[in-house]
């Protein structure tokens, strides 16, 4: 698969969306990866798709993808745990900036995804992500936080096949 970005480029791009007044809206954003921001209204996976320079509508760039048409948290987790697709499961201690920290839907609750921005020996430390909680706490849905919420929800580290994590 063609490399679209490096991990540091993904992190840098993601950070440009913070402080732009983006509002959280489930199912929106990330459809046009060439835009300056992921959309004025966006959700977590729309934000992650945009930062990785792909449309969240997978059919646009990979018509053979068998796990779903949308770049979405549950599909990302399922892909990472499967032997095919474009996402690989990575041990926590091998996490790198730019990789995704993600958990899927569980017991009627939506999953969530963010971009790892800082790691320590044991795994991710900070994550930039788009959430309703960020919007309420900081007035902007895109914000960089500690990784605690991801650990509490059993998130996995996911490496995208089209990013070089140098």
Q: Residue 23's domain spans which residues?
A: 5-164
The total domain count for the chain is 1
CA of residue 74 relative to chain centroid, distance: 12
To the nearest 10 degrees (0 to 180), the angle between helices 44-51 and 7-17 is 130
Which CATH number fits the domain that encloses residue 47?
Answer: 3.90.1720.10
Tokens of 18: 């913070």
Beta bridge partners of 103: 112
Q: Please give the Cα distance from 73 to 128 (Å, whole number).
A: 15
pLDDT per residue rounded down to tens, the chain (166 residues)? 678 899 999 999 999 999 999 999 999 999 998 999 998 999 999 999 999 998 888 765 565 565 567 889 998 998 899 887 789 999 999 999 999 999 998 887 889 999 999 999 999 999 999 999 999 999 999 999 999 999 999 999 999 988 999 8
**Predicted TM-score of the model (pTM):** 0.93
């Amino acid at each position: 698969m063609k490399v679209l970005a490096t991990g540091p480029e993904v992190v840098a791009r993601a950070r440009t969306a913070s402080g732009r007044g983006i509002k959280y809206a489930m199912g929106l954003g990330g459809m046009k990866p060439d835009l300056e921001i992921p959309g004025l209204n966006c959700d977590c996976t729309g934000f992650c798709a945009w930062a990785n320079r792909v449309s969240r509508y997978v059919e646009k760039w990979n018509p053979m993808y068998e796990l779903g048409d949308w770049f979405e948290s549950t599909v990302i987790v399922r892909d990472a745990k499967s032997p095919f697709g474009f996402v690989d499961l990575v041990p926590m201690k091998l996490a790198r900036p730019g990789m995704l920290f993600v958990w899927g839907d569980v017991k009627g609750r939506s999953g969530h995804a963010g971009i790892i921005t800082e790691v320590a020996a044991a795994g991710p430390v900070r994550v930039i992500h788009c959430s309703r909680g960020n919007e309420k706490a900081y007035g902007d849905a895109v914000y960089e936080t500690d990784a605690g919420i991801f650990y509490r929800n059993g998130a996995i580290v996911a490496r995208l096949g089209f990013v070089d994590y140098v």
